[in-house]
Structure 1
Amino acid sequence: MARLPRLTLPGFPHHIIQRGNNRQAVFSCAADHQMLLRLLDESARKFGVALHAYVLMDNHFHLLATPSTADGLPQMMQAAGRRYVRYFNDSQGRSGTLWEGRYRATVIEAERYLLACMAYIDLNPVRAGLVAEARDYPWSSHGHYAGLRVDSLLTPHPLVWALGNTPFAREAAYASLVRAGITLEQQELLTRSALSGWALGEGDFLAELQKRTERRVTKNQAGRPTTTPKEDFPAA
């Protein structure tokens, strides 16, 4: 069976997951994290992608981003990913693949899932037991939105601006949202949709989305069932 192409649509937020091959670590030190962020920043600007959120874990990373063109997101991921592999292999004296195949991604309905996805991304290190609170983890976008530091690679989504009329109000509202957490259902939906490639949203949103692409945006209800890729790392 032919591999289903990734769903990539300009103007919509995409939740992206890239994992290390065979669960291997893709970062060995702070310089590695800084390098990938720099490469993502350069590639995002070059290919017209707005990066809204990120978290870099030991063996995988998540992004939330909105491309301005149909090719912007894959171009960004390919450019940053290839350059990072060359850097990492040279620094570690290794060769061969680093990533577990192609990145996974799908479109999410902003009004319903964007802020939940940002909290989901921020809470990865907490779920993994690396830190007690999202604010304690240095390699995520949480610090920017909670007012702890400025991250120049980030472009806040309009829904973040709508959290308050002043920077302090927005930061307080966002930090409160993350502390409240997300439901297990939201966590599972966000994980499953990104890994499977099916769009995440309500019926009207999905119907409108389908008009914009020939690629199916949801799994067929009839016929032979397809298999959803299994989540196999602890902090998705």
Structure 2
Amino acid sequence: MPFDSVQIAHLGGAWGAMGSLAGSDGSANHPYLRRLIDDIEPQRDLCDAVHYICLLHGRHPGVIDHALEHARMPIESGWIEAAAEAFAGERAYLVRLVAAAGPLPSTPGHAESEAVTAAQSHALDMLAQSDRSGCATGAAVALAIDWTTIRQVLDTAAHRFGITPFPTTLPLAEETVSVVDALARECAIERAMLFGAQQVYAQHRGLWDLLEARAGARNRG
């Protein structure tokens, strides 16, 4: 299975720094995201979330695809190749959900939201195409870890839309830990991986903040 909070807390070795970062900065800690997962927000908010998640991660090539082009070690490229293949299915799922969600809900300040999302997309692309050894892989690893939480939002939306979710095929937690552990033996690569991961988590937190602000603007309207 992909990562969950218990696995992040208990897997050891060099995973420690990456696991700690996932636990402190990952999307699971965002209160608005938790409300979406718990299905207590209006359907229009779930529709909004699906659209904006697709804007960030429904594109091809995406973070993991770009990272594959910058992998230098066999263990690194093998994991990213498997993750990229699995994420193709996640993109197809996203596209299906966007179609079921219908048009974006009318929201004040939409042009500003689009500008913010464009900047986030650009930042993610830059991270995933970094020539700094380990940075792109760290970004890909962070996306794979955080996707476990993001997927819960998508599955909640799917149930609302009458769509049956399917299991994700992203690499197993143990496989990801093995890759991180092997690469982290070189301090420079570990620092670069942590930087890439930290920045992905920051962009995701920015996304949840944006979606929460958009929901508030709709409620005030």
TM-score for both structures, normalised by structure 2: 0.29
| Structure with the bigger percentage of strand | 1
* Higher RCO, Cα 8 Å, sep 6+: 2
The TM-score normalised by the length of structure 1 is 0.28
Structure having the larger proportion of residues in helix: 2
